[in-house]
Amino acid sequence: MPVSLHGPNGYRRAFGDVVPSALLAFRGGGMAFRTAGAPIDRDAQVASAGLEAQLSKAVTLRASYAGQIGALACDHAVRGYLTLRW
């Protein structure tokens, strides 16, 4: 049963304005308004890891993790895949 593992790791640096905002208005008149998004971290650690196992010629099982860790926010995701071929 072939098994493979991957795990890239990195660093992300944001330059410029880290608080996204936009000035908007509805078509046809009305007052303009400003909307702001969630601020992003200027510096963050980015990591992922995955495992893939070929259980047979027709069946592959994969699991992976992806994450971003910063001072203001953390984001984590886990995924699983089952591939059947016929």
Considering the domain boundaries, does residue 22 fall inside one?
no
Q: What is the mean pLDDT of residues 9-29?
A: 89
Please tell me the pTM assigned to this model: 0.68
pLDDT of residue 19: 85
Considering the domain boundaries, does residue 72 fall inside one?
yes
User: Structurally, how many domains does the chain consist of?
Assistant: 1
pLDDT of residue 29: 79
Considering the domain boundaries, does residue 36 fall inside one?
yes
Considering the domain boundaries, does residue 26 fall inside one?
no
56/85 Cα distance (integer angstroms): 10
Considering the domain boundaries, does residue 38 fall inside one?
yes
Length of the chain: 86
Considering the domain boundaries, does residue 11 fall inside one?
yes
State the residue range of the domain holding 49: 3-15+32-84
Instruction: Using alpha carbons only, give the angle 8, 66, 83 rounded to the nearest 5 degrees.
Output: 95
Considering the domain boundaries, does residue 9 fall inside one?
yes
pLDDT of residue 75: 92
